[in-house]
A and B are shown apart, each in its own frame.
Chain A
């Protein structure tokens, strides 16, 4: 086979691999992702669907009840409507009132029920402009 043709074949193989990977990425990412919602949007959400809820824990609302945790969340930039949440499972170290969290779960009877071990609390770490720590 002449080298020119060989090079062309290699290029086609490499390109098709890239296209395949790209197509797979695009295709699966839309189905594998879960929708991110803020508490105010979830107050009226349909039951049965799974959401990624991002919100801020209301200070002083955290109650431990046996193994489960009950608290209320509001939108990240505040807001007056708060959503009650129940959750059981591991609680990350930085979790407490006033923190931003991400939690996967469903809405049941107006209460957001988190899946065990999906609670993510944001590190209050660096570069926060306000001192909410």
Chain B
């Protein structure tokens, strides 16, 4: 099986190479080469899927002849984690990278099969090139082939998956992060294609915007799950530590956020082309850097990743990407210049630029802090590192400003806003924010932390502003289309998924930041030592250590506590525990002390509430238990050895052991007997621990609003889903007109947007008149181009063309009016690609 797998992997590698070469050969438009390259990508995707299936089957079937299975799984590993064990290994995670990339590339190529003729060959070459790099890495780098076999004889059991990793979110956290990293390859590849062919309008953005959004959502979800795992599993009570590996995933997410905003400016206004190209190159490079960091051992991290052979190769790829892209952008600067300028600072695009700068500021700060050990080594010769307070000092003010501008952006219309209009839309959110700030400052102790207070105020501004957007939009739609208010709201969101989905993301992020600000600024954390029966008061809540608990099974010794918490009139019980795992897989020493020679992890006792989380973890004092275990081990040894003065049962046990030593057939029976005796003894020791009433250390944290971090994250995710949700099937158009059609639809949408903004009171009459005239002029230009094409081609498809054959001005008026009243079903057809 190992060799079959290697062959399939090699074939996948060859398919990616073929795809890249064929795409480049077909760059002139040779249909056969292009088809070959696209099919080669699909084939590579199929082959890599087969590899993943083979590996997963080996995990499920405990095939320890494969090194990856032997090292990361064992017979005892629960099935659920056998499936997840693949990506806990270096080679498995590389396979995951390549596999997800092949899926994303196939989807991208399928959705653009009739579009972007010039760009696609180069984009294919880039995607296939990156795919070839990662598949080739597994085959050639040495030590990272997922199909490497274990030296014979084949071991009977595996080492097992680290119990710390056996948490439900470990099943989804790494694939989410990888999918996020990987999916950014697609917009990057198309950007490179656009740069090479100098097709620098927004068509590459329209074709890949979805992939960027999917990547962003996956990466965000991955970060959220990692934070949640840290909060519930690691027993320290935090969710973020500014650890290099966390930072490595946060940086591409931040730049990706900036990219998602600034591409809207390019789509609508044709500006910021250089900026967008730079952002996507930076995002992709940072994603590669994240992949590199976890495998290089360059930086000290809580995540101890061993040095491995693949680090230098990935570093090489990053260098190629950075140098190549920079050279490409510089050589295309003339084509990237936009004749348009930002008209006014009071416009949505201007605020987007400010938000972009803030996001980049945050990212630059994190980058500097993360790589500071290397920087300081360069200048001072010693590796010095920066701790969380340093990161907080800079990211906090930048994040607070970001929230303010996140609030301002949606309130402004594109292009320009007159001050009278601005006043009208700003008055309610601004007053609500001031009221919120004042109430918080006067009636709570929020003022103790000025940054937190500022964040709450600005978040209130942003949330009320978005609420007002929904309200006014729905009212405007109702006046245009009639119907009830809820129906108008649903209609509004479903017809403008991108805009209102985006607003929902904003709501989620604002809620998440409120949670972070409150829980980090107003947290109460105490470590208390209690004996059973004793109580302590933490932040007005009385915690009583009712009784200890202990449980033993073959795998772990679990010591826990029953805690009774009284919070005013509310009383509840928590049950934090700590599990001590026996090492699995290796040559087990087999004694009772081995329970305390392996990993241990915490199961926290958590009472989540809308107001605050009550979080507890126990650190039981097990010195007594360990002493008893050592004593029991010593006794068992003497017992089996038949030392004088041992009880009569020992005679039988000793005899069994001596016979087994001579007769291998009896060994399983003897081992089972010993195990049974040990388990019984361990249970007695556990009972002794419970009876003894040993003191234990409890970490108790009262975390205000912490639950809202997770709720905010989920809201943001649902917003992203709404923005991603495909519109109903777009009108079928001949392949060659697809791009023009997309352009036309984008312009129609812009006209409708302006109309909606006007109806919602965000644009004054004269601004609207100006803007509308301008947009219509641009739309007419596009339609003219369409007519030219049509005359050249003499397309017979009468029905489809009818609309466009009318005098353009009339057609446009008719169309826009019809869609204003009841926006057409294919409103977002440009998103379908």
Contacts and interface: CB of A to CB of B under 8 A. Distances in A.
Q: Is chain B a partner of chain A in the same complex? A: yes
Looking at chain A's contact residues, is the secondary structure mostly helix, strand, loop, or mixed?
mixed
Contact of B162 (A34, A67, A125): A125
A29 B164 contact: no
Nearest to B88: A126
Contact of B234 (A28, A92, A96): A92
B393 interface: yes
A37 B377 CA distance: 12
Interface in A63-103: 64, 67, 89-94, 96, 100, 102
A34 B699 CA distance: 27
A32 to B, nearest CB: 5
B77 interface: no
B93 A126 contact: yes
Contact of B394 (A14, A25, A120): A25
B389 A32 contact: yes
Interface residues of A, number: 46
A44 interface: no
B394 A35 contact: no
Interface in A6-58: 7, 10, 14, 17-18, 21-22, 24-26, 28-30, 32-37, 52, 54
Contact of B305 (A17, A37, A127): A127
Contact of A133 (B87, B89, B386, B599): B599
Nearest to A89: B527
Given A29-B369, A91-B619, A131-B159, A122 B386 contact: no
B599 A92 contact: no
A127 B308 contact: yes
Contact of B385 (A22, A25, A33, A94): A33
B274 to A, nearest CB: 14
Contact of A129 (B234, B294, B302, B308): B308
A42 B668 CA distance: 50
Nearest to B583: A133
B341 A7 contact: yes
B386 A29 contact: yes
Contacts of B385: 33-34, 36, 52
B304 A122 contact: yes
Contacts of A123: 164, 302-304
B362 to A, nearest CB: 10
Nearest to A104: B387
B301 interface: yes
Nearest to A95: B600
For B307, B373, B382, B385, the residue with the greatest tally of chain A CB atoms inside 10 Å of its CB is B385
B295 interface: yes
Interface in B229-247: 233-236
Given A35-B384, A54-B300, A14 B235 contact: no
Contacts of B602: 93
Interface string B609-623: 000000000010101
Contact of A125 (B304, B307, B529, B583): B304
A19 B743 CA distance: 39
B382 A92 contact: no
B357 interface: yes
B601 A93 contact: yes
A34 B233 CA distance: 29
B383 interface: yes
Contacts of B169: none
A109 interface: no
For A33, A37, A124, A131, the residue with the greatest tally of chain B CB atoms inside 10 Å of its CB is A33
Contacts of B110: none
Nearest to B376: A33
Nearest to A98: B597
A126 B308 contact: no
Interface in B589-633: 597-602, 619, 621, 623
Contact of A35 (B236, B345, B382): B382
Given A100-B304, A122-B304, A28 B390 contact: yes
Contact of A21 (B71, B165, B361, B586): B361
B308 A122 contact: no
Contact of B89 (A29, A121, A124, A127): A127
Contact of B361 (A18, A29, A36, A120): A18
Interface of B: 71, 87-90, 93, 143, 159, 162, 164-165, 174, 233-236, 294-295, 300-308, 341, 345, 357, 361, 364-365, 368-369, 372-373, 375-376, 380, 382-387, 389-390, 393-394, 527, 529, 578, 583, 586, 597-602, 619, 621, 623, 697, 699
